[in-house]
Chain A
Amino acid sequence: MIRKSETAKGKLITTVLSVLSLLLIWQLLSEALRLPALPGPIPSFRAFGAEMRNTLGFHLYVSTYRVLASLAISLLLAVPLGMVLGREGKIDRYFAPLIYLIYPIPKIVFLPVLMVLVGLQDLSKITLIVLVVFFQILVTTRDSSRGISGELVNSVLSLGASRLDIYRHVVWPAVIPDVLTSLRIASGTAIAVLFFAETVASQEGLGYYLLDAWSRMAYEDMFAGIIAMGLLGFVIYVGLDYLERRVCLWK
């Protein structure tokens, strides 16, 4: 128990140190370059504090909501399908060519179509992120599900397991660690795609806020937006870390 809390403390210290060193590099760079487009961390954080009380808080909320919603929808769609494709060769043979055809297409080209189909609001942005992230999670889940040892499945089958039992006792727990890894990658992608989607015909979200600050040449506000975006990613990563430790106790 003591050791556990010590490592938790150690982790906190290293996290703080790494953030501090990032801020230090930022400070040094801004002093060296002396560009209005690169304000230092102190004015940026001051602007962040002021803007959060103003409208930035709302934009952060909207973006967070969009990212989390699209990650949740992608998970719900991709994980079950991935598990099935990994186990059922016949279905996979039909789907594999589709996946390989659609996966490499940069989905952002569908944004205009989506905006016509589902409107300019949340739905078109969430759909776009889902389109990108879905495939990342799907392919990882499928490969993970396919890689499960046949001997393990046979052992459980010999206990009288039905196909559903195999999914419940073997496939689902086996793919969770890989799903979490793919979610880590997907969350970065999701934020990047969201940024793009929010800069096109949009009035809310961090993407809009950033582009708006940029066009006003309000660089301190812009960096306040960047801080908010970093914070969004950071919170998601910490959440996933926590989830991984809770769910993968057996590793």
Chain B
Amino acid sequence: MISDAADNNMVSVAGLSLYYGQGEGRVQALRDVSFAIPRGSTCAIIGPSGSGKSTLLYVLSGLLLDFSGEVLVDGAGVGRGRRQTALILQDYGLLPWKKVWDNATLGLDIRRVPAGEKQSKTASILKELGLWEMRDRYPAQLSGGQRQRIGIARALALDPDLLLMDEPFSSLDALTREALQKQLLHIWLKDRITIVLVTHSIEEAIFLGQKIIVFSAHPGRVVEIVDNPRAGQPDYRKTRDFYEMATRVRELLEH
């Protein structure tokens, strides 16, 4: 049973606790967090600021290893440098001194992927995301939505099976945000990547997260895990279910 469940879960977290700082100033960021995310599904993590959402993402990405509890990614203990895990942080982590093309190939450069493969893969992803014409520009010359897409392109170039996103669309205007949310869904439907995204937007959580994990703050704890099977359906936003779900999540957050 246990191994079965582990096989179906891309991410499985049990009893995760984490502290920041040492001695007197020690602050608990996460307390006894447990959840599982099935392979190929989407999951939204929502909670007030200070609920350790971003910290959790760092743990899942393998950048933060100083925790207690068990964190499994694809059945193995989380660790640094798992090739198929991609992380997109809030400011997209683009290097301002690299052109769009070089930003998109950065992961492949670092992993010393042969030039031919790098060229063809990056070209097709940039075309798919509508960035091809901008490949010779610097990030500062692009709009917020375009910058976000470079971040996504850079992540997708690595063929991830787990995509972690920290408030990916929070700094974008409403129209760009909805367009990018749809684009993300499209990528998810095509490649069936497991997507975990941290958000503070109830609407975004419901639109994108098949599972919604609601956090409370100080320290970060799981309040409830809500199943939201209709997430990912393009017309979900216009349905009654959507609004009922929004009310439910809002109540959990205000709890």
Contact = CB atoms under 8 A, between A and B. Distances in A.
B194 to A, nearest CB: 16
A242 interface: no
Given A160-B83, A169-B95, A154 B63 contact: yes
A31 interface: no
B89 A154 contact: yes
A249 to B, nearest CB: 7
Contacts, number: 65
A54 interface: no
B95 A157 contact: no
B216 interface: no
B110 A160 contact: yes
Chain A at the B interface: SS class: helix
Interface in A147-192: 149, 151-152, 154-162, 165, 169-170, 173-174, 176
Interface in B57-104: 58, 61-63, 81, 83, 85-93, 95-98
A190 B243 CA distance: 69
A250 interface: yes
Nearest to B109: A169
B111 A151 contact: no
B154 interface: yes
Given A158-B87, A159-B106, A152 B111 contact: no
B138 A250 contact: yes
Contacts of B45: none
Contacts of B98: 169, 173, 250
Nearest to A155: B93
Contact of A152 (B62, B95, B107): B95
A169 B110 contact: yes
Interface of A: 149, 151-152, 154-162, 165, 169-170, 173-174, 176, 248-251
Given A160-B111, A162-B110, 5 more contacts: A154-B87, A155-B93, A158-B61, A173-B97, A251-B96
